[in-house]
Amino acid sequence: MSLTITCPVCGKRDGYEFRFGGEDKGPRPEEDSLTPQTWCEYVHLNKSVAGVQKEWWVHKDGCGSWFTIYRNTVMNVEVQESEACR
Amino acid sequence: MVTRITQLPTLRIDPAQKVVFDYKGKDYAGFKGDTIATALYHNGVKIFGRSLKYHRPRGLYSLDGECSNTCMEVDGIPNVRTENTLLKQGMKVKEQNVKGSAENDMMGFIDKLDFMMPAGFYYRTMHKPAVLWPVAMKQIRKAAGIGTISPDFEMPGRFEQIFPSADVVVIGGGPAGMNAALAAADKGLRVVIMESRPWLGGFFDYRTVDYRDSEYKKNKQLYIRAKELASKVESHSGIRVFKHASVVGTYTNNLVTGFQIGGEKDNFTERYIEIRAKSVVVAAGCIERPLLFENNERPGVMQVGCVHRLARTYGIIAGERAVFSVGHDLGLEAAIDLFDLGMKILCVADVREDGQNPYLMIELAKRNILLLKGWVVSEAHGSKRVKGVTMTTLDGTISRDFECDLVAASAGFTPINGHLTLAHAKLRYDSHTNFFVADTMPERTYSAGRMLGLEDSLSIEVSGMLAGLKAALECKKFYDAGICKTSDGVANSQESINQLSSEIDTVTAKLKELPGTARGSKFVNAPVKGRKSFICFDEDTTIKNIKQAVEMGFDVPELIKRFTSAGTGPGQGGIPGHNLPLYVAKYTAAKNSSSGSHPKPTNVRPPLVPTFISTYAGRKHIMMKRTPMDQMQRADGGVFRKIGVWERARYFSNDFSCKKEIENVRNNVGMLDGSTLGKFRIHGPDALKALQRVYVSDMSKVKAGRIKYSAMCNDDGCVIDDGVVIKLGENDYYFTTSTARAGSTIEWIRYHTRFDGWDFYLVNLTDSMGVINLSGPNARKVLQKVISQDNDASIQDVSNEAFPFSGYREFMIKNTIPVKAMRLGFVGELSYELHVPSSYMVSLWNMVKEAGKEFNIQNFGVEAQNVLRMEKCHIILGQESEQRTNLLDLGLGFLWDRTKKDAKTIGAAALRHAENDPTRFRLVGFKMEDNGRAPNDGALIVDDKVRGYVCTARDSFTLNEAVGMALVESHLAEIGTRLAIFEDECKGELIYGKVVPMPFYDPDGRRMKS
């Protein structure tokens, strides 16, 4: 895999070590005001940006942490250091 | 049989060592160092196979595997590129795509039917009438195609994978590549160099003209210079050399992939190589651009480099009477050199009217070789091999015939750009060199050497050096930026970067003083109609086909490539890659001036070189986990199966219905190894919050000393996991997951709490804890014996009152083994699950076995457990559920607590939505009508449509009838509904069952709870 990802804990590693966790859509919505429509949108709809997008990855073969990176989806490269997230 | 020159300094064969191989059942001999193709050619084999579509005879053409001409079946493997494959003792070689032999192919008549097969005929004519299509397709597929392979063919050999890392990867081991490698390695960087031929040297390796560097002694020849460089590279401690290693892919972030063919001393047949580099130097050189004329692929027509290398590298003079038709100085040089080696050269045609190297002109004149400037070969004659040619002037007005058996033909050169374009370089047509050159380079990638259009040997070397230094500078910057730490003592100071930069300036200036890019020969094709002028050999695409495609409205080479299939064969566009866009540009410009004549290259994709799938696959990677009880269960006669990531004892006899095992659990006591269960501890201030998020139940109600069964759903409310949770202390829990979920549970919980910033710790205890499941009416007596050995009275009491169903106890056995004991009932009997550290599993297992001896305790396996729990209608996720099955479908809605909205429980929103959905499946129990047998798992429930499917069904010994569970549409879920079951290959004979209440066995749970 040509993608490399910078894990906030372990540093820059090969993309094979990570698993994709989807686009960043913010925290889970509150349940009270939730319609099936808005719920479905939160869970299933993606922007699929052709360009730089913020997304979640987990270092599955490393420290196991979840964090976000900014990735250029056209070139498939990480464009910015990841934000540490715990 | 061709006699060989055995005394040349440039030879890469060892004439002293014979290698015997088998060609079509007869023994032939070649020499060590021969490729299969050169050995065959040496033995007089001129026709290697027949072409894909027209069954035209094909022979040696390029020596570098640029086309499928020399693909043959070797040791049962089809489509082996014999010109790239070294000859080995005892190889069995066969021709392919022939009916009869390559020499006399009964399908050869198809060549005459080309008028019936215009461009795209397959797409345009074969769809009407529709009924004919399958018949026609079968015939076409039989006649066309290349190698065939038996479906049960097993690839011999040993395939490996390596993943080295490097500072600089150099693609190409020619003069430029070697200089680049040395320049970077001398700066203390780790360099990998990949060369597709089995030796370093590139196009210096077979050339004997003088090396013009004034620093060297006069009369040094290029091949000697190549050897000098190669020995420097190979002895450099900073350079790792991969020879006979082709690069097949280059990607962003400087990832380079390739494969190496193993030599005699290597312990692999082929190995996949994947290198992550900090910078890349591409010095892949050039290939020859085929000359387009009638019958330009007739055996006997070869590229100039092929003829030259056959002589210089393999000692083979390719023909008795040769004609050259070239477009570049290397062609003239080859003619002179081959003349000196004894080849009879009738004439040399050069498409260039002027611009030839004067030195070469003098040498040609000295040898009295007829040079025709502005001439080109227009047609090769001879039905199976070349017997003569017609030469014409470029305008076609004057022509002349020659009798010959060899045509060395080449229009010019074309750079091997694939490595650059794969890494997203944009190509531009350069009218001076007539090359496609990279306009924008990928990050930290540099190219060097001939592919830039350089021809002068010293310029090529210096360009390599420059690229090596630039790559080195990038690496230095990389280290300096602190992204990576070095351990090899590379100086990282700004000083060394400045020094490198000034060195780069010096070398750049030096390169400027040397001869720059050479004027490339223009696109020329012979003045013929092109009915048999092949632009792509692999796919039998002619100039005429291209014209047809353009006439039909295709104007972009990329689309013409697809429509005519030019460049889609095993040669990966090596032959048509350059000619196709040039020809299209020329032809469309002639047709319509407004559409522009700017050549646009077609895309290339990995693999750049045909690669065995087995090379990508590498070695067999079956790595299964084994439980601590593995050995003991095997000793007890366990029959093991691969289940998920584990090898588990599925049966304990060859009776796969497990009758004895099942009856023993129902009537006596059995033990099962449940160590594969996922086991976790979660603790920390926010542990309960995390559990509330992932489990559907209200986890605050978990009480000490009790176990709670619950389930996890995904956001769609579909069940992904079930298990039990135990409270060890405040915000400290132990929980189990199903075997399949053990690997992803932590990731799951962390993912769904990632925005909350909660403080909790998760520990995966799956491998560090083992589980013994002790089940059956006598289980209590066995447990009593095991724990009464030396524990105090209060814990020794395992009576139903002291340790009831759903209870949890901890105790120490022999004051040493800590046991977490749970009173469960998965199999529907009195049952205990003992969780102990893996290292104590064997001891405890033996103790349980010993204690159970008087009751005749027996092992039971996973299949027996499966039947036992099915009789009790306890579900297994993945068996009674699939991806779309939600909690309510399974009748587990009682687990779901709707009041904990603040927890934002995963799946709750979807479950609320699904609650009133009448279209969902329901899990039902059924038994078979008329005492019938059980249907297969996965059989369909049908009426006029599919209405559901059988999850698990077995002939139950306990109940004396066939029972099972099925997921069906809700209108079929009523008790008493008749279910029609359709099995694979039942030929319409349905079997019938009836919906009955669940569970089938011990409905009030008396056995489980007593």
Per-residue pLDDT of B854-882, as tens digits, reads 999 999 999 999 999 999 999 999 999 99
Tell me the shortest Cα–Cα distance from A77 to chain B, in angstroms. 7
Task: Give CA separation, B309 vs B7, B205, B653, in Å.
Answer: 15, 9, 66
Looking at B825-920, which runs of residues are DSSP E strands? Answer: 831-837, 858-859
pLDDT higher than 50, residue B486: no
- Average pLDDT for B287-314: 95
Return the number of other C-beta atoms located less than 10 Å from residue A17's C-beta: 18
The answer to whether B583 touches B541, Cβ cutoff 8 Å, is no
Determine the pLDDT at residue B594. Answer: 53
Return the number of other C-beta atoms located less than 10 Å from residue B371's C-beta: 17
Residues in chain B: 1010
- Average pLDDT for B903-912: 93
Distance CA B431, CA B522 (A): 8
Determine the pLDDT at residue B219. Answer: 67
Residues of chain B in contact with residue A27, where contact means CB-CB under 8 angstroms, are 755-756
Per-residue pLDDT of B57-97, as tens digits, reads 999 999 988 888 999 999 999 999 999 999 999 999 999 88
Residues of chain B in contact with residue A66, where contact means CB-CB under 8 angstroms, are 747, 750-751, 754
pLDDT higher than 70, residue B224: yes
The strand pair at B406-409 and B321-326 is best described as parallel
Per-residue pLDDT of B236-293, as tens digits, reads 999 999 999 999 999 988 999 999 999 888 999 999 999 999 999 999 999 999 999 9
**Average predicted confidence (pLDDT) for chain B:** 91
Distance CA B286, CA B289 (A): 9
Tell me the shortest Cα–Cα distance from A70 to chain B, in angstroms. 15
pLDDT higher than 70, residue B489: no
Between A21, A26, A43, which is nearest B715 by CB? A43
Determine the pLDDT at residue B106. Answer: 80
pLDDT higher than 50, residue B483: no
Determine the pLDDT at residue B476. Answer: 84
CATH of the domain at A61: 3.30.2270.10
Determine the pLDDT at residue B487. Answer: 47
Among residues B417, B328, B324, the alpha carbon closest in space to that of B371 is found at B324
Per-residue pLDDT of B796-807, as tens digits, reads 788 999 999 999
Q: Which helix (H) or strand (E) holds B843?
A: helix B841-852
Tokens of B136: 């026609």
pLDDT higher than 70, residue B218: no
Among residues B675, B631, B872, the alpha carbon closest in space to that of B767 is found at B675
Reported confidence tier of residue B478, pLDDT bands at 50, 70, 90: confident
Determine the pLDDT at residue B810. Answer: 92
Reported confidence tier of residue B485, pLDDT bands at 50, 70, 90: very low
Query: A77 and chain B: CB distance < 8 Å anywhere?
Result: yes
Q: Look at A74 and B777; give whichever has higher pLDDT.
A: B777
What are the structural domains of chain B? Answer: 14-113 (3.10.20.440), 159-286+415-513 (3.50.50.60), 293-410 (3.50.50.60), 534-613 (no CATH), 630-675+768-869 (3.30.1360.120), 678-764 (3.30.70.1400), 918-1009 (2.40.30.110)
Mutate to test the interface with A, among B696, B747, B760 (most CBs of A within 10 A): B747
Contact yes or no for B901 and A86 at CB 8 A: no
Find residue B908's DSSP bridge partners. none
pLDDT higher than 60, residue B747: yes
Cis bond before residue B164 (omega within 30° of 0): no
Chain B contacts in chain A segment 3-62 (CB below 8 A): 3-4, 12, 14, 19, 21, 26-28, 30-32, 34, 36, 39, 43, 56, 58, 60
Reported confidence tier of residue A71, pLDDT bands at 50, 70, 90: very high
Contact yes or no for A31 and B904 at CB 8 A: yes
Find the closest chain A residue to B484 by CA distance.
A12
**pTM for the model:** 0.86
- Average pLDDT for B326-345: 94
pLDDT higher than 50, residue A17: yes
Find the domain containing A27 and state its range.
4-83
Determine the pLDDT at residue B791. Answer: 58
Residues of chain B in contact with residue A1, where contact means CB-CB under 8 angstroms, are 255
Tokens of B349: 């045609």
Q: What is the ipTM of this complex?
A: 0.95
- Average pLDDT for B511-538: 87
pLDDT higher than 60, residue B668: yes
The answer to whether B721 touches B711, Cβ cutoff 8 Å, is yes
Q: Look at A12 and B665; give whichever has higher pLDDT.
A: B665
Lowest mean pLDDT, pick from B147-151, B204-208, B631-635, B819-823: B147-151
In angstroms and rounded to an integer, the radius of gyration of the C-alpha atoms of chain A is 14
Per-residue pLDDT of B696-736, as tens digits, reads 999 999 999 999 999 999 999 999 999 999 999 999 999 99
The answer to whether B463 touches B516, Cβ cutoff 8 Å, is no
Determine the pLDDT at residue B484. Answer: 45
Return the number of other C-beta atoms located less than 10 Å from residue B440's C-beta: 11
Determine the pLDDT at residue A33. Answer: 83
Determine the pLDDT at residue B126. Answer: 67
Reported confidence tier of residue A86, pLDDT bands at 50, 70, 90: very low
The answer to whether B269 touches B356, Cβ cutoff 8 Å, is no
Write down the H helix ranges in B341-441.
Answer: 358-366, 418-422
- Average pLDDT for B567-590: 85
Tokens of B33: 């160092």
Between A2, A27, A58, which is nearest B253 by CB? A2
Number of domains in chain A: 1
% of chain B beyond a pLDDT of 70: 96
Return the number of other C-beta atoms located less than 10 Å from residue B139's C-beta: 9
Query: B441 and chain A: CB distance < 8 Å anywhere?
Result: no
